[in-house]
């Protein structure tokens, strides 16, 4: 008989990647939603970074902290309570695993579809086990983020000089819009000797497949974005502001003019990070293609034709860090 000297159990810590924290970047574009120049500045930021910080967005701090408190209450429940609403399929509670293809991170999360009918079973279970105030905080928050997302998309249409100004926002407003919402908790990561000056990766590098994402975090930093030159920079946290992330679909709809930004999150060694993200997506049947009103004469699409449902199917077959748009680019 063969006797194994080591139990055949993989330590999850050994699978999670580590990363050296990078210097804080002071060059993140900051856009005031009430600035008359916002439409121009916003397009410029999306072309250059695919990312910006939105201030004066009109969502009061206590509205955001109300959900943050509820999220913390949920993440403080016992592991067995939380596991009752997992594993994510893709909706529900997940811990350390991200997506169905072996990605892992120092994170636990709740992932929901914003259309309650789609994930009603899991969602109901999540909220049944928690006070009613959690459900209403999530619903109110999603609806506020959807409004902000739509306002930003309308300004983007204005800034690009395309009409009607709801060409993009109508996709999020559609009752069949396939939008997601995610509450992430990155617990403090252990200071393992072997990590010497490195942090555990909470959420590995990726781009968001949707049109636009609206992110808010507590005061713990950790988010990093990849600049055009390939360097990674740390985004200083700001719990009062919202951060806007251009997704793959918006890159395609603008024929590459706006870029979907690669980003990742490092866990902090001392403090918990809580982030909440609304991912604005189109209806499943929507064709994702460059907007006709944006194309110059003779300009050709850089991408093959595909629907959001096809793109999502392909995304869920990929690993987090894969370049998902590659499969849809014209040769």
Residue numbers of the site for ligand GA4 (CB under 6 A)?
A: 90, 98-99, 101, 103, 111, 180, 182, 206, 208-209, 279, 315-316, 318, 320
In contact, 221 and 248? CB cutoff 8 Å: no
Find the shortest distance in angstroms from Cβ 143 to ligand GA4: 19
19 CB contacts (<8 Å, ≥6 apart)?
Answer: 198, 199, 201, 264, 266
**Within 161-255, where are the H helices?**
169-173, 248-253
CA 37-42-46 angle, to 5 degrees, is 160
Q: How far is the CB of 51 from ligand GA4 (least distance, A)?
A: 14
- Residues with catalytic annotation? 273
What is the per-residue burial (b if ≥16 Cβ within 10 Å, else e) of 55-71?
Answer: eebebeeeebebbbebb
Q: Which is nearer to ligand GA4, 206 or 273 (CB)?
A: 206
CA–CA gap between residue 179 and residue 184 (Å, rounded): 16
Instruction: Give the separation between CA 17 and CA 104, rounded to whole angstroms.
Output: 8
How far is 82 from 280, CA to CA, in rounded Å? 26
- Closest to ligand GA4 by CB, 101 vs 120, is 101
User: For the chain, how big is the Rg over CA atoms in Å?
Assistant: 20
Rank residues 39 and 206 by Cβ distance to ligand GA4 and give the closer one: 206
Cβ count near 26 (within 10 Å) = 7
Q: For residues 45 and 98, which CB has a smaller minimum distance to ligand GA4 in the complex?
A: 98
Spatial separation of the C-alpha atoms in residues 79 and 101, rounded to whole Å: 23
By C-beta, is 39 or 324 nearer to ligand GA4? 324
Contacts of 302 (CB under 8 A, 6+ apart): 252, 255, 256, 290, 329, 330
Contact between 63 and 240 under an 8 Å Cβ cutoff? The reply is no
Q: In the complex, what is the shortest distance from the CB of residue 29 to ligand GA4, in angstroms, rounded to a whole number?
A: 22
Least separation in angstroms between CB 214 and ligand GA4: 12
> What minimum distance in Å lies between the beta carbon of 324 and ligand GA4?
7
State the minimum distance, in angstroms, from the CB of residue 36 to ligand GA4. 33
Cβ nearer to ligand GA4, comparing 19 with 212: 212
Q: Which residue is nearest to ligand GA4 (CB)?
A: 99
DSSP state of 268: P
């Amino acid at each position: 008989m063969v006797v194994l000297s080591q139990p055949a159990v993989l330590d999850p810590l050994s699978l999670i990647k580590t990363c050296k924290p990078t210097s804080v970047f002071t060059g993140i574009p900051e856009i005031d939603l009430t600035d008359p120049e916002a439409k121009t500045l916003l397009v410029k930021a999306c072309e250059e970074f695919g990312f910006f910080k939105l201030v004066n967005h009109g969502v009061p701090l206590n509205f955001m902290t109300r959900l943050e408190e509820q999220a913390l209450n949920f993440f403080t429940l016992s592991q067995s309570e939380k596991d009752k609403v997992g594993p994510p399929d893709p909706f529900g509670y997940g811990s350390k695993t991200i997506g169905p293809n072996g990605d892992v991170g120092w994170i636990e999360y709740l992932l929901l579809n914003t259309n309650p009918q789609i994930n009603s079973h899991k969602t109901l279970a999540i909220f049944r086990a928690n006070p009613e105030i959690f459900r209403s905080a999530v619903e109110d928050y999603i609806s506020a983020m959807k409004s902000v997302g739509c306002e930003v998309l309308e300004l983007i249409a204005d800034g690009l000089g395309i009409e009607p100004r709801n060409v993009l926002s109508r996709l999020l407003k559609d009752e069949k819009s396939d939008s997601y919402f995610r509450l992430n908790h990155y617990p403090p990561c252990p200071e393992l000797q072997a990590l010497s000056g490195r942090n555990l990766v909470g959420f590995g590098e990726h781009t968001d497949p949707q049109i636009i994402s609206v992110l808010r975090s507590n005061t713990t930093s950790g988010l990093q974005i990849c600049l055009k030159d390939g360097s990674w920079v740390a985004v200083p946290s700001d719990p009062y502001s919202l951060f806007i992330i251009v997704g793959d679909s918006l890159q395609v709809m603008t024929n590459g003019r706006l870029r979907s930004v690669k980003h990742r999150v490092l866990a902090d060694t001392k403090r918990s990070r809580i982030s909440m993200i609304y991912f604005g997506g189109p209806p499943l049947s929507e064709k994702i293609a460059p907007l006709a009103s944006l194309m110059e004469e003779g300009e050709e699409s850089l991408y093959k034709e595909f629907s959001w449902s096809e793109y999502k199917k392909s995304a869920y077959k990929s690993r987090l860090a894969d370049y998902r748009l590659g499969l849809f680019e014209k040769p």
